[in-house]
Chain A
Amino acid sequence: MTFLEQVGHAAVVHVEDAGALAMQFWAVLRKLPRVLPVVGSRRRWRSAVQQMFAIGASALPMTGAMSLCTGFILALQGASELRRFGALQFVIELVVIAFTRELGPLITALSVSGRSASAISAEIGTSVVTEEMDALRVMGLDPVEFTLAPKYLAALITLPCLTVLSTLCGIFAGYLFLALSIDMSLRIFFQAVAEAIHLRDVAFMLVKSVVFATIIIHVGCLEGLRVRGGPEAVGHSTTAAVVKSTFLVILADLGTTAIFYLMGWSSTG
């Protein structure tokens, strides 16, 4: 192969890859209504609820703890600088803005991508290896509707919820710091939070969390479906799922934040 041919071949392969990603996503989106409670099938909804527990509820302790720690760290770091200007109360604004705009969605996405992207790709990869996917197809059941769609719905619902909870944890850690260091009362703290929090930032946070949820679940499922061969391939796929989803989450964070910045939606006041 000449150099040009190699470049062309690589380009074709990547375009095909991207095409497969998009096709898969579209296939799942079309089946998503089947999972919804009233209009869809009750059994799919039940399996989606199971997935919500697996992806969301069990991730709660870890995500909450991570957010508490990060919130406290942020307050400590901020306070050491702000104290010099006698502006310790700005720690509240710092924590609130950092968590609603950035850290809440990011910490949640990273902890879920570590826990669930790997678990999902392992589960799907194993079911490919043990021919469960073939068995579904042969029984006349659509694996996209049966296996994938409930997971997508579960991720799209639980990740924003987790993000809200993790943001609350982060902000609470800010209060904890101020209560311990300057005996700030809860009432004053709430007033300051209410001033610092903006509806626009909260919307921004939810948009981000939906984007991250899509990335994590999509990468996890695709890496699982890509498994060929034996059980050792499942191991590779779980690693790839975590690495790729973490990287893509950060990339998407940069992308969305840049868009919000350029559109002028992120400037306060």
Chain B
Amino acid sequence: MTDSSAAKAGDAAISIRGVSMSYSGRRVLDQVSLDVRRGEILVLLGGSGSGKTTLLKHVLGLAKPEAGSITIKGVDITRCAQSEIRTVRRHIGVAFQAGALFNSLSVEENVALPLRELTRLADSTIKLVVGLKLMAVGLSDAGSLHPPELSGGMRKRAAVARALALDPELLILDEPSAGLDPIVSAELDELILFLKRSFGVTILVVTHELESAFRIADRVAMLYQGRLIAVDSKEQFSRNAHPRIRQFLDRQPDAISGVAAEEFITSFLRGSRHDY
């Protein structure tokens, strides 16, 4: 699987070249170059503040980089007109971290929204498509509920259903398993793999959850302090000797903060012993 997708490296769904960005003097993205190949699941790993959210915003055309280019479907979205970005976005489905569902609309209406607004489909057709998408994510029974009535896992599923509404070639998931319990998170991983198998979509997942990353990924990329420090198949990635990757994979705290925490705890315990 990994080898076959490596063989056709030529056709990238997303091609990021030398993207740099800084906010008020701080470098958030530093010369990031990354290809997402057609039909693969690429997991972008990174701790908090590593720049993965910023990179995502750039890929979606919500922010413009200082340098570099991002090409999706042959269009450089960092340099093209707003109307062209809109055309490109028709082929991208995005599920945001908190779902970003519209609370005033029911789940069905949320999924129907892009169809109603951007296509000229008849109402009956829209209803059918919405039903199919909800079935694909396992939410057939929850269509009439409103987002606040959903559990965390259902909300993410609903967000995925809405992202799938326009049959995108490219699906982008921001932290799909963050804040979910292990069982629901595993179900979501299954869903992601199912989507790849049955619809053949290219999927870019941004996350910091290692377990789910290794379950779903074809390839894994890792951002650290705005730099891309590794892009590899997951087997090779797990053998990578880069100290930061080892630290991330072995769940080690930063050396200094570890010592500081220990000191804090001992002084705290000593202090509380004096009190009692």
Residues of A within 8 A of B (CB): 43, 130-132, 134-135, 137-141
Contacts and interface: CB of A to CB of B under 8 A. Distances in A.
Interface of B: 57, 60-62, 86, 89-90, 92, 94, 96-102, 113-114, 116-118
14 contacts: A130-B96, A130-B98, A130-B100, A132-B102, A134-B62, A137-B62, A138-B62, A138-B89, A138-B92, A139-B113, A139-B117, A140-B90, A140-B114, A140-B117
Q: Which of B61, B100, B113 has the most CB of A within 10 A?
A: B100
Contacts of A132: 100-102
Contacts of A141: 113-114, 117-118
A132 B97 CA distance: 11
A226 to B, nearest CB: 17
A43 B112 CA distance: 13
Contact of A139 (B57, B61, B97, B114): B114
A134 B96 CA distance: 9
Given A134-B62, A139-B113, 13 more contacts: A43-B116, A131-B98, A132-B102, A134-B57, A134-B96, A138-B60, A138-B61, A138-B92, A138-B94, A139-B89, A140-B114, A140-B117, A141-B117
A132 B116 CA distance: 17
A108 B117 CA distance: 36
A134 B100 contact: yes
Contacts, number: 43
Nearest to A139: B114
A131 B61 CA distance: 14
Contact of B86 (A43, A134, A140): A140
A132 B57 CA distance: 14
Contacts of B90: 140
A214 B94 CA distance: 34
Contacts of A130: 96, 98-100
A2 B164 CA distance: 56
A135 B96 contact: yes
A132 B159 CA distance: 11
A166 to B, nearest CB: 28
Q: Which of A130, A131, A134, A139 has the most CB of B within 10 A?
A: A139
A134 B60 CA distance: 9
Given A138-B89, A139-B89, A131 B96 contact: yes
B85 to A, nearest CB: 9
